[in-house]
Amino acid sequence: MRTLIEHLNFVLTVDKSDTVLRDASIVVENDRIAGIGPATEIAKQYENAVFDKVIDGTMLGMCPGFVDSHVHLSETLSRAVFPDNLNTRAWVFHWAKPFYAHITEEDEYWGALLGITEMLRSGTTCFLDMGSQYDPGIVVRAMDKTGIRGITGRHAADNPPAELPRGWTQEMADHHFFPDAPTALKVLEDCVRRYNNVLDGRVRCWVNIEGKEPCSLELHVGAVALAEKLGVGTTYHLATSIEEAKICESKYGCWPVTRIDRAGGIRKNLVIAHGVAIADAEVTLLAERGASVAFCPCSSFKLGKGATSIGKYPEMVKAGVAVGLGTDGVSAAGNMNLMRQILLVAGMFKDARLEPDIFTARQALRAATIEGARALMWDDEIGSLEPGKKADFILFDLDHVEWTPFYDPLQALVFSASTGSIVQTWVDGKPVYADGKVQGVDEAEIRRKARELAKAAVARAGLHEEGIETTTTLYQEGN
């Protein structure tokens, strides 16, 4: 299948030089970009070529598909359930855990479908999911139906609290927490061997763990070592808040990144989720180790993580750390719309530090595309629009109020546009969102089923009741 999209108003390639093409054409052959460049050059290059389809791009703009570096698909049914007066630790232990204790495999499947449809409508073509509470195959089935690209895994932890808090169940604890690190790692290895590179390579499976207090030091280090052995990556939550960092310092004499690194657990195949509480010396450490960070601006804003006050994200980028953008779960951030994250990160540090030239629009777009792809160890195939790479891209309707008028497409995309002007999202050389709908699925039925299942799950978890704790002392004492 050979497709020509000709005379595009602009193409933001996000290559090494951040080349912006005007009056450009792109040739897609099967799942890859065969040619891209000025329309006159592509016309000469393909003068005698036969195309299966030719698309007029005169009123269209293009950029690479967005890469969501941190998302919880198993959390999708909890949208707008948790209040916004929680810090990270209370949010996890007294709200998220009870929710996870009461969702089923069916809940996860429909939640994954719902989340993926939101991502595709928002231009996200690839994601890093923290993983299923049950089996990665649940997410894989949803990916099969929708055509999206992504990485998933199976949730793992091995350090349960001495006493289960309100809303937790023994059944959840037994399923959620493995008896020890070796047992968890054996299951995670089996998942990778079963699911990695399925669906013609659109799916990758990693050695993912929850991270921080619910995981032992042995599991943190074991996860990156196992992933290294299997040739894949791992991701876990770490340094997610100043509260976590202070508790770590009181117990171990250092902040979380330093503690894990001293045991050999910070390596180049690791994506640290959040990474808010990072000391100056740890920025250098991350760069030296080659580890990456997934920054979730909306989550930081809702939970008061402190990205604008203590976050070192601009310093990480300057040091060469791959900093991708993530949406987190819908209850932590409210949405799976990466365009919101792009807008926030392009302005939050300018405002917080009174420096208008810090974390610019260019860096924000790179964080959502090529830097996210680099974090996911997939930048050889996705993240930028170049010959030979996968044909994963977004088309914007420029005959839209958000784009009328505009001069610089980068400034317009970051500060003016929204998902409302996205008309197509392509993955693997095919439009998987087009004509106002995600292809291959019944979105109305997905939404209906999600509302039905969410209502039941929230009731089972007791999250509609009064008196749920908004602070916590869990994991503050002992190991």
Residues linked to residue 21 through DSSP beta bridges, in sequence order? 11
Domains along the chain? 2-64+385-437 (2.30.40.10), 66-375 (3.20.20.140)
Number of helices (H) and strands (E), helices first, in the chain? 21, 17
Note the pLDDT of residue 91.
Answer: 84
**How confident is the model over 304-326, as pLDDT tens digits?**
999 999 999 999 999 999 999 99
CB–CB of 385/19 below 8 Å?
A: no
- Phi and psi at 68, nearest 5°, equal -90, 110
What are the two backbone dihedrals, phi and then psi, of residue 52, each rounded to the nearest 5 degrees? -75, -30
Half-sphere CA count of 77, side-chain side, radius 13 A: 31
Query: Mean of the pLDDT values across residues 416-430?
Result: 98
pTM beyond 0.95, yes or no? yes
The pLDDT tens digits for 350-365 are: 999 999 999 999 999 9
Q: How far is 288 from 285, CA to CA, in rounded Å? A: 5
> Going along 250-390, which residue ranges are E strands?
270-274, 292-295, 323-325
pLDDT tens column, 45-92:
999 999 999 999 999 999 999 999 999 999 999 999 888 888 888 888
Which pLDDT tens digit goes with each residue over 94-105? 888 888 888 999
DSSP state of 96: I
Lowest mean pLDDT among 126-140, 203-217, 293-307, 459-473: 459-473
pLDDT band at 274 (very low <50, low <70, confident <90, very high): very high
Collapsing DSSP to helix, strand or coil, 57 comes out as coil
Q: How far apart are CA 267 and CA 251, in angstroms?
A: 23
Residues 460-470 have pLDDT tens digits of 888 887 778 88
pLDDT for 476 equals 78
Torsions phi, psi for 103 (to 5 deg): -95, 150
